Chains A and B, each alone.
Chain A
């Protein structure tokens, strides 16, 4: 199975600070159809996961544009440009290129 390594495991940020989360894959996530099925989820406390970014860099409808995704192949990054209080929670990367789909171990974002 594909292993996704997320760093850092925890992140402490002040309101307005910009932060980045890394997700590295044990193999390329470029599918033979040309798509890269790497997505980012946010799980707020007590809630189910919600989609933030899909296909590496596409912003899900309704998600603030302070979130952005980048990367290719095996290295991917989620950036939050100006953290807000509502951004606290656990961020997961997930890949759907190779079956079975797998998740990163999560990055917990705390607000100072």
Chain B
């Protein structure tokens, strides 16, 4: 069974950093591209970043370019999202997803002073 388990969220002040992790199991992690999707409170789903199966290619939405970094450790079957210079508008539940078919339970990130 495919499982994706996010961790690392919480409350952070504007301008600070936070790193999210997504532990994958139940499939060969190194064979699949992965992505982060977020959902602001009461809002819809919004793609954040994508990484290729081997980590060689990464893509970001414009509003997070230069601030967020997606990465992966295939040996650990883990996906990461390093978030720097956080803003209030980054407040959301962050999901890791494999191809929009499998989703984690999400982790809440609140950016507030």
- Judge whether B46 is part of the interface by a CB distance below 8 angstroms: yes
B106 contacts A48, C-beta separation under 8 Å:
yes
Question: Are B106 and A103 neighbours in the complex by a CB distance under 8 Å?
Answer: no
Give A63-79 interface residues, CB cut-off 8 Å to B: none
A39 at the interface (CB under 8 A from B): yes
B-side interface residues, number (CB < 8 Å): 17
B19-47 CB mask vs A (1 if < 8 Å, else 0) is 00000000000000001000000001111
- Contact A100–B61 (Cβ < 8 Å): yes
Q: Which of chain A's residues has its CB closest to B103's CB?
A: A48
Chain A residues packing against B (C-beta within 8 Å): 39, 41, 43, 48-51, 54, 60, 90, 92, 94, 96, 99-106
| Chain B residues in the interface with A (C-beta under 8 A) | 35, 44-47, 50, 59, 61, 95, 99-106
